[in-house]
Amino acid sequence: MKHFDYEKPSKLGHELTAVEQKEVLSMYVNRYTGDHIPQWAKGTTWKDGNPYPVQFLNDADWLRHTLFQVGKNGRLTDCGECHSTPTWPHNPELRKEKVTLGKEEASK
Question: pLDDT tens digits, residue range 14-36?
Answer: 999 999 999 999 999 999 999 99
66: in domain: yes
Q: β-strands 66-69, 50-51: how paired?
A: unpaired
Q: How many CA atoms lie within 13 A of 107 on its CB side?
A: 10
83: in domain: yes
Measure the CA–CA gap between 63 and 71, rounded to whole angstroms: 18
101: in domain: no
List the domain range (segments joined by +) for residue 22. 10-96
Higher pLDDT, 91 or 57: 57
2: in domain: no
- Number of structural domains in the chain: 1
51: in domain: yes
Q: Lay out the sheet containing 10-12: strands in order across.
A: 10-12, 66-69, 82-84
Q: What predicted TM-score, i.e. pTM, was given to this entire model?
A: 0.83
3: in domain: no
